Structure 1
Amino acid sequence: MIKDTKLAVLIDGDNIPSKYIKEMMEEITKYGTPTIKRIYGDWTKPQLAKWKTLLLENAINPIQQYSYTTGKNATDSAMIIDAMDILYSEKVNGFCLVSSDSDFTKLAMRLREAGVVVYGIGEKKTPEPFIVACDKFIYLEILAKEEENQDGKKTNKKENIDKITPKVIRLLRNSVDDAADDDGWAFMGDVGSLLLKKQPNFDARNFGFEKLTQLFKSLNKFEIEERDKTSGRFKLIYVKNK
């Protein structure tokens, strides 16, 4: 991913649990620098009170949006209008839309049409149309980190939100074939990029693995080869279907 990407982070405060905010902001820095950070909601509502301390700690600007009509989501409209204003200002070259709401599907599509990268972050319940409208979609459930219980022992809050099904295996094998050279070997980085193009919510962490290589190694259907890089201390990882 491009590290110097300037990102506008727009959060649907009515739709996202506050407990994920720290891990979420850490995740976003992997893809660029969050230069604009805004969260939208009706801050007169008591249920949003838990956000207030977290906003100060993470330098997120709260945008007040009153609910004008019962049953209508004014927060969505405010986010969409702001996103288009930011797009035309050309201050950023990427967006991070934080919501589990399919109402942002059209916005994600429009932003990508304008040539900027769009990352989506939301819960597992996020509808498929919004997920596939993004360049990459990250589930909040996989961002939870270890925490200490009363006995001082660390417990893992993460949960495997997807199972490795025959369909997943088929996706992996096909992607390796698509990225492979004449000898059948594919650079792991190319395979990862191809998987995201095919399925924006694909993430090794969904299956309980921190890295894509670990996911491939756990399966008895692939060969893994490490090759020395001509310069630098890192090795290049290649994968091949058995």
Structure 2
Amino acid sequence: MPHEPLIAVFVDFENLALGVRDMGSDAFRVELVLKRLLQKGRIVFKRAYCDWSNYRGTVREFHSHGIEMVDIPRGKVSGKNSADIHMVVDAMDLCYSKQHIDFFALLSGDSDFSPLVSKLKENEKRVIGCGVKSSTSDLLIANCDEFIYYDDLVVAAKKRPPMKKKGKDTSDKKQEAAERLLEIVRSLEGDYDPLWGSLVKQTMRRLYPGLNETYYGYRTFAEMLESVA
């Protein structure tokens, strides 16, 4: 079984919320970002920073995804930088204390995090950035090992046909299996050559932990892969 990269996620929520508002989209959909990150590894740490009194509607959704929310009330003097400082301090503390973490995902478009990215890379961590195209610093993008544009995730989600609800027959389940496997393979093939079946299975377990080959009507995972090859 290949090594499963471990990912820590840090969210500068106000930066994202303002960016999403400016792009004329609905509320920020954190599940789209988490799903993309799960295609890369196992998420072992999730923390978001904001003055949550301004975004009460988001609290329940973040709780449902197991994200720890750090409340940073906006003061007359501290302003937004207080959240940034907390996030930087926590990220560096995790970098030094949890050396098994491979990736740091920074969800923000703020150029103020560029020094943090550099410091994490000095400590042999890979950094994935994520932000809205129109409100993300070019400096931050260039400094990250990889950058995910939130806009692209939204567009891809709109193109994806909705999964059928319960009551599926065997053919429906096998069609669903094919769609999910192809989605995973396409997300991995740019990063892995060759792409092993064990890695595809590992990724599928992260994305859909309650499902397995038996659910889709196959005896083994290899049989399921062969059916869509």
The TM-score bracket by the shorter chain reads: 0.5 to 0.7
Structure 1 segments (4+ residues) deviating >2 Å: 17-20
Distance 1:3 1:70 in 2: 42
Q: Is structure 2 residue 90 aligned with structure 1 residue 78? A: no
Partner SS for 2:14: coil
Q: TM-score, normalised by structure 2?
A: 0.61
Higher relative contact order structure (alpha carbons within 8 Å, sequence separation ≥ 6): 2
Report the AA paired with residue 74 of structure 2. S
Match of 2:14 in 1: 14
Match of 2:149 in 1: 139
| 1:71–1:61 Cα change, 3 Å | closer
Partner SS for 2:96: helix
Q: How many residues align?
A: 154
Match of 1:62 in 2: 69
Q: Counterparts of 1:151-230 in structure 2 under 5 Å?
A: none
Instruction: Check conservation: 1:3, 1:33, Cα contact below 8 A.
Output: no
Instruction: Check conservation: 1:13, 1:48, Cα contact below 8 A.
Output: no
Match of 1:87 in 2: 95
Distance 1:30 1:3 in 2: 14
| 1:78–1:30 Cα change, 3 Å | same
Match of 2:121 in 1: 112
* Deviation, structure 1 residue 70: 5.4
Report the AA paired with residue 7 of structure 1. I
The partner residue of 2:43 within 15, 34, 57 is 34
Identity %: 30
Distance 1:70 1:85 in 2: 22
Instruction: Check conservation: 1:6, 1:32, Cα contact below 8 A.
Output: yes
Mark the runs of 5 or more structure 2 residues left unpaired by the alignment: 18-26, 163-189, 192-224
Distance 1:48 1:135 in 2: 30
* Deviation, structure 1 residue 121: 0.3
Match of 2:137 in 1: 127
* Deviation, structure 1 residue 75: 0.6
| 1:39–1:3 Cα change, 3 Å | farther
User: Which structure dedicates a bigger proportion of its chain to helix?
Assistant: 2
| 1:3–1:137 Cα change, 3 Å | farther
Q: Which has the larger radius of gyration?
A: 1
Report the AA paired with residue 22 of structure 1. E
| 1:62–1:71 Cα change, 3 Å | closer
Distance 1:93 1:127 in 2: 24
Distance 1:62 1:35 in 2: 15
* Deviation, structure 1 residue 67: 2.5
* Deviation, structure 1 residue 105: 0.6
Report the AA paired with residue 135 of structure 1. D
